Chain A
Amino acid sequence: MTDAATSPDGQGATVPGSRSPWRAAAAHLGRNRAAMAGLVTLGVLAFLAITVPALSPYPIDDIFWDAIGTGPTLAGGHPFGTDANGRDLFLRTLYAGRISLTVGLAASLVSVLVGVAWGTVSGYFGGVTDSLMMRFVDILYALPFMFFVILLMVYFGRHVVLIFVAIGMVEWLDMARIVRGETLSIKRREFVEAARAMGAPSLWIVARHVVPNVVGPVVVFATLTVPRAILFESFLSFLGLGIQEPMTSWGVLISEGATQMETQPWALVFPATFLAATLFSLNFLGDGLRDALDPRHR
């Protein structure tokens, strides 16, 4: 929202005949330095998270019995130090990035899939369908969702996939509302009216015409859902309901590190820095996307 206001571009980028709106958006995004920095940072983090654990000479749960809870040393081979069990934190922090990023992406994906389906159907069909479906969303809003997530974790153990689903199920509500709002306005546009007049089936219209046109706001909102999902997973970890050992996530590492911030600050500082860098990047990227996809700002 911020940098866009200062950008020189005038109005009318959406005028038919000029460059495609997607190209324009990409170009606009490319000029947003904060967003690009975010994108690059995320790319680097993801690359490290994938390659470093894969190339490591030892597994992530290897214990260094002579180096339990030692601080960061390059000479000792543990640039981020080791945890209270003597496991290398450099490796674990990067491996945790895999899990945290996956949790964020997968949970956002769940929320996009459910939210878009729910929102477009509700908005397009309107009437009783709409009010029933939105009533349901209202009810879930008022259900203290943490209770819901805790019980899911209790029922099914702590399978990673379940964590994706649980967080996604919480996050899709906002998505559904936003998509419904967009759908309501798209519904009245000429091309939808035309398709309807030609007798196209409703679901086909939704899939062919409505969904592609809500992509913009959905993408923007999804980038903001990813950090929320990552933070929510860390909250679950604090409550002891997160990922199972020997897997780990930034949330797990941070909640372990937070209990020892005085004695082993490195166990907190490194994972927290990685988490913060990721969240910063995602937020900048989200802001950039919003500006780029918002016609008012072009």
Chain B
Amino acid sequence: MLEESARHRPGISTRTLLILLSVVLLGVSSAHAAKNTLQRGNGAEPETLDVHKSSGVPAAGIQRDLFEGLVAEAADGSLIPGVAENWTLSDDGKVYTFRLRKNAKWSNGEPVTAHDFVFALRRGVDPAVGSGYAFILWPIANGEEITKGKVKELNRLGVEAVDAHTLKVTLKAPTPYFIGMLTHPHAYPVHPKTLERHGDKWTRAGNLVSNGAYRLTEWVPQSHIRLERNPHYWAADNVRIDAVVFHPTENTSTELKRFRSNELDITYDVPPDQIAWVEKNLAAQFHNTAYLGTYYYALNLTKAPFRDRLGLRNALAMTIDREILTGKVTKGGEIPAYAWVPPGVNRYAGATVPWKGLSKAERLARAKKLYAEAGYSRDNPLKVQILYNTSDNHKRIAIAISGMWKKALGVETELFNQEWKVYLTTRKARQFEVLRAGWIGDYNDANTFLELLKGDVGTMNPAGYANSEYDALMRKAEKETDLEVRAGLMQKAEEILLKDLPIIPIYHYTTQHLVSPRVQGWVDNVMDVHPTRFLSLAP
């Protein structure tokens, strides 16, 4: 039979097959993007562009180009006047009076008025809107009360349009970081008529009216969001890039490849396991900058084995070699953390763990002693579980730390990862022993870190930490108007915290971006804000 069929010429010739192949691989044509358009990676798809409903960084980066608050950020992240040309503060530190630019315009040409801000700020605390970030506006008188339903009338919020271009904001108490908070998207103005006309669809391309340097022209979910310059923007003459396209690219390896093949000018992130490669091969384009965030392990103080076991907590904290961890495992230039509040926070000197000055050998000796005093030994080791949300990076860190504990003390660690929502549920119910977590500051002030560990913040306080002395210091700091005295109080609170160690600080975050050489005007900064209006493209 074999011979028989072999005698015939094959019915399907090689040529036929090649034709089939070329049909499938048809047509490789070329096309290229417009010249003066900036292509930015954006991490995930923004959940929403509605300034009062959004919460993530992916949305904020786009909103920053679309809108402008009373105060804005410069290329280096510092505060500069935005819609407000200038402002004054009353002597008791409670009443701000903002004078708005007369030439500030919406993208439809209408002027931006104090009434627009009143409308937006009231919407921001309105419980019916259901914002997760309403707390940004809680320093304003009655803000918290309105969100929590204790005050029903929105117009009792401490904001008032004195005239079309003068806005008066009354605070509950002096808040030195309030001006900084105004750069948060939650404090941006919205165009009242657009919201009335389009309801839930007001953020769509074609509907959205914005007051920033750019306006929204196209939004294809999961594909791209395109902004073009807003001709009515008051500083439109200084805006040099005509259009900016944001590409959601969750997979960071893909984002890196898109950058390398010139599809993106700026990446949102760099995959942690590629940092070493990037440092070697794309050093000039690589921007690695300290960030306002701390990666930490929380110890559950409400249960054994960490409840009332200060020595054991110290032993575990001391035996994590942060230099090796950041130098050999994470490799992203992270700063080994011996404090809770990261360096670079305004008006704050900071505290450190008491044993930071010890050498590694001394730390190890001390840790071994504390571990033994807690009743553990190589034969009777501590058995502990680390809970982390599913991610390669968290996994690698947990593996390294469990290895360090094992080597130094003989601790037997079980690694347990849960998918994010399950992790949040477990965390809320405090069903963990050691929990991986991270905290990114919402604004540049120590308060955004220290308030997380107050005894009365509920389940958000990850460790269940409650120290009346700490709480008293924080309460005192909240009322203090003298900035230096206030910083001193907070520093004392942090010292107590670092002695108690409900959380083990591991490293302070850094942000990583790749920036194409054709992008000019990029300035690294600790707030990681890079408004497109300060960038330009080399010809």
Contacts and interface: CB of A to CB of B under 8 A. Distances in A.
A/B touching: CB–CB < 8 A = yes
A260 B415 contact: no
Contact of B415 (A63, A241, A245): A245
Nearest to B252: A259
B392 A259 contact: yes
* Nearest 5 interchain pairs by C-beta: A63-B403, A240-B390, A245-B415, A263-B277, A85-B399
Contacts of B253: 259
A92 B531 CA distance: 46
A246 B402 CA distance: 11
Contacts of B1: 5
Interface string B418-431: 11011000000000
Chain A facing B: main interface SS? loop
A7 B51 CA distance: 73
Contacts of B390: 240-241
A147 interface: no
Contacts of A241: 390, 419
Nearest to A256: B392
Interface in A235-253: 240-241, 244-246
A259 B422 contact: no
B416 A244 contact: yes
Interface residues of A, number: 25
B459 interface: no
B417 A245 contact: yes
B415 A244 contact: yes
B274 A246 contact: no
A109 interface: no
B273 interface: yes
A154 interface: yes
A130 interface: no
Contact of A246 (B399, B400, B419): B399
A61 interface: yes
A245 B397 CA distance: 12
Contacts of B329: 68, 84-85
B347 interface: no
Contacts of B398: 245
Interface string B374-416: 0000000000000000111001101110110001000000011
Contacts of A6: 2
B444 to A, nearest CB: 33
A260 B274 contact: yes
Contacts of A263: 273-274, 276-277
B273 A84 contact: yes
A246 B415 contact: yes
18 contacts: A63-B403, A63-B407, A84-B273, A85-B396, A85-B399, A85-B403, A86-B328, A157-B418, A158-B417, A240-B390, A240-B419, A244-B415, A244-B417, A245-B395, A259-B273, A259-B392, A262-B274, A263-B274
Contacts of A256: 392
B386 to A, nearest CB: 10
A10 to B, nearest CB: 13
Given A85-B403, A244-B416, 4 more contacts: A85-B396, A157-B416, A259-B392, A260-B274
Interface string A34-62: 00000000000000000000000000011
B483 interface: no
Contacts of B271: 259
Interface of B: 1-2, 253, 271, 273-274, 276-277, 324, 328-329, 390-392, 395-396, 398-400, 402-403, 407, 415-419, 421-422
A196 B274 CA distance: 69
B274 A63 contact: no
Nearest to A158: B417
Q: Which of A84, A87, A260 has the most CB of B within 10 A?
A: A84
Contacts of A87: 399
B27 to A, nearest CB: 29
A5 B271 CA distance: 51
B408 to A, nearest CB: 12
A91 to B, nearest CB: 15
Nearest to A68: B328
Interface string A1-31: 0000110000000000000000000000000
B326 to A, nearest CB: 13
Contacts of B273: 84, 259-260, 263
A20 B273 CA distance: 58
Nearest to B391: A240
B506 to A, nearest CB: 16
Nearest to A65: B324
Given A68-B329, A259-B271, A263-B273, A84 B396 contact: yes
Interface string A99-130: 00000000000000000000000000000000
Contacts of A65: 324, 328
A6 B277 CA distance: 52
B277 to A, nearest CB: 5
A87 B417 CA distance: 19
Contact of A154 (B392, B403, B419): B419
A78 to B, nearest CB: 16
A5 B1 CA distance: 10
Interface string A73-93: 000000000001111000000
A61 B274 contact: no
A9 to B, nearest CB: 14
